[in-house]
Amino acid sequence: MWKRRALGWLLICITGLTLLLVRLIQIQLMETETFSKHNINLLEESVKQRTQELVIDNGRGNFLDRNGVMLTHKKVSVLVLFPFLKKIDWDAKKVSEITGVPENILKMAVEGAKKPFAYGDPQPVELTTAQMEQINQLNIPGVFAIEKKFERSQIPAEQLIGLTGENPEEVKKRYPDKELSEKTLLGVSGLEESFDEFLLPEGKSKLVYHVDGSGGPLFGINVKYVDPANPFYPVNVRTTLDKNIQQKAEELVDKHQIKKGGLVLINIEDNSILAMVSRPAVNKKDPYGTAGITNKMLKQQIMGSVFKTVVAAAAIDHNLDTPMRQFDCSKKINGKPEVKYNYGMLDFSNSFARSCNRTFGELAKELQKKDPFSLEDYAEKLSLTSLVGWQGDVYHTSDFKQLPDEDNGRVFVSDEARKDANMAAMSGIGQNEVRATPLAVANMMATIARGGKKKMVRAVSKIEYKNGTTMVDFPVKELKGETISPYTSMRLQKLLREVVTNPNGTGRWFKDLPYEVAGKSGTAETGKYVNGKQLHNKWFAGYFPYKTPKYALVAVNLDVADYEGGVNLLFADMVQMLYENDHE
């Protein structure tokens, strides 16, 4: 009897030990970096228990402007102090003499520290190269001068570049085959999201020292530098932005009190974004819960009279623009007397310069009779209704989009509206169902300036490895589909210039600028009201210099009252700023 019991207990003990051994093997050998459903890295956690560290670089890829300047972060030469200094006699006086920080302040900072820190963080004292060399030559344990990566307090083009955040569930969903920490930063909007796979960290760069239970140094006072030791990572995403121009553009948008709207500036030669500003800005206290995260420049908006550029192109090709033809601009589209904008009889060119609604309502109806799809065809030829952001095959990713949040534009929503003459007339002046993104409008202006050549708009030119070699190149690419002819482009160029040179043109405010401007204004009724007053979208879209086009610019102010919120001064200040920037 007792033998059976003994044998039973022996089997239970063996089974228990076997299970413990299996569990130990699982923990120690098999799931050391992805333990449990939370993918906990046991190696990292065990190291954390016996070490203290200062992260120098989180390992995520960086965004650069077109000149190689860091956009979201900056590298600062800082003084790093370790808390074990409070337990040893160190020469704070010499460090003070080199840095200019009072000796007692340095000692107080160390006394209050529980982990390594960059002195002055979050606004660290920046050291010169000479100061760094002098501090490191002191060879004081726990005192270092290093270059550390800090996030900028103000990130330029924040909606375009996007935000990052921690989301354990999204890490698993997005990268099921990769062994990533739950705390891995992921891109949640903008370029951070679209380029996320390239930006994932290979590991952190950090200073580490081992501690005992009381926080004292365990193996003397040696501090180790830990680095992923990969010469290729983290990568750098080289955007097409110009940081200097971007910052000045943001200052001007805020100076002119654009609460909702912004601007898009395109370099016509390579069709890339030099600056993009969207308001409202991102709320730092609640970045993900506000409208500020949305990039208004990539969202379709009611565009008003800017759309007359499309109608003009179609009218030119269908010979509806004969010089002798006169339009009665003393009347509205519906035939009622025009009280506010009574221009009398105008020809085609003057109608465009003065933005006569009657002219373009009639032309839109005539075009609709010829072909119900005419307005949509020409909107597509001028890249207003298609996606214009760069897309193509990249590595194993087919149809990669740099700007995945970009909206399509539109002219009509239904076939019924497309065949209705009155709907066509309202569409001819950019009302009714007509929508386009500010980015697409800027690209339309660039297309016209280039003589009808349609190109994709780039926000990123290439991805570079850490050592500077190219990982992925995003070449200038043409947009597929039909485009307008060089002759039609030439005619549109002249019409857009007359908007500025005509004494009564809607862009006459720009005639004395240092760069010759060509463009089109737009004021669209939104159908929204505040205190019984109709709200409008106000636009000016154009390019310059007229004879040697370099820039395409769109400025837009959304949902503002008729008597306020103009964009002419913003557009003019941008032209002036770019001229001065080019001639410094």
Catalytic residues: 305
Query: How far is residue 457's CA from residue 267's CA, in Å, rounded to a whole number?
Result: 9
Query: How far is residue 243's CA from residue 177's CA, in Å, rounded to a whole number?
Result: 36
Query: How far is residue 407's CA from residue 196's CA, in Å, rounded to a whole number?
Result: 21
Contact (Cβ atoms closer than 8 angstroms) between residue 310 and residue 382: yes
Cα atoms in the Cβ-side hemisphere of radius 13 Å centred on 487: 6
Largest distance between two CA atoms of the chain? 121
Residue 240 buriedness (CB in 10 A; 0-12 / 13-18 / 19+): buried
- Return the structure tokens found at 357: 């609604």
Query: How far is residue 539's CA from residue 560's CA, in Å, rounded to a whole number?
Result: 11
Query: How far is residue 523's CA from residue 528's CA, in Å, rounded to a whole number?
Result: 14
Query: How far is residue 457's CA from residue 271's CA, in Å, rounded to a whole number?
Result: 5
**Residue 546: which of 477, 497, 475, 481 has the closest Cα?**
497
Query: How far is residue 125's CA from residue 106's CA, in Å, rounded to a whole number?
Result: 12
Contact (Cβ atoms closer than 8 angstroms) between residue 213 and residue 236: no
Which position has the token pair 């001639």? Answer: 583
Q: What b/e readout covers 321-360, taking b as 16+ CB neighbours within 10 angstroms? A: beeeeebebbbbbeeeebeeeebeebebbbbbbbbbbbbb
**Residue 526: which of 561, 554, 556, 555 has the closest Cα?**
561
Contact (Cβ atoms closer than 8 angstroms) between residue 554 and residue 496: no
Query: How far is residue 54's CA from residue 225's CA, in Å, rounded to a whole number?
Result: 10
- Return the structure tokens found at 340: 């506010």
Residue 54: its H or E element:
strand 51-57
How far is CA 294 from each of CA 161, 255, 417, 460, rounded to the nearest angstrom?
A: 11, 21, 30, 19
Q: What b/e readout covers 521-553, taking b as 16+ CB neighbours within 10 angstroms? A: bbbbebeeeeeeeebbbbbbbbbbbbeebbbbb
DSSP assignment of 334-399 equals TSSB-STT---EE-HHHHHHHT-HHHHHHHHHHHHHH-TTHHHHHHHHTTSSS--B-EEEETTEEE
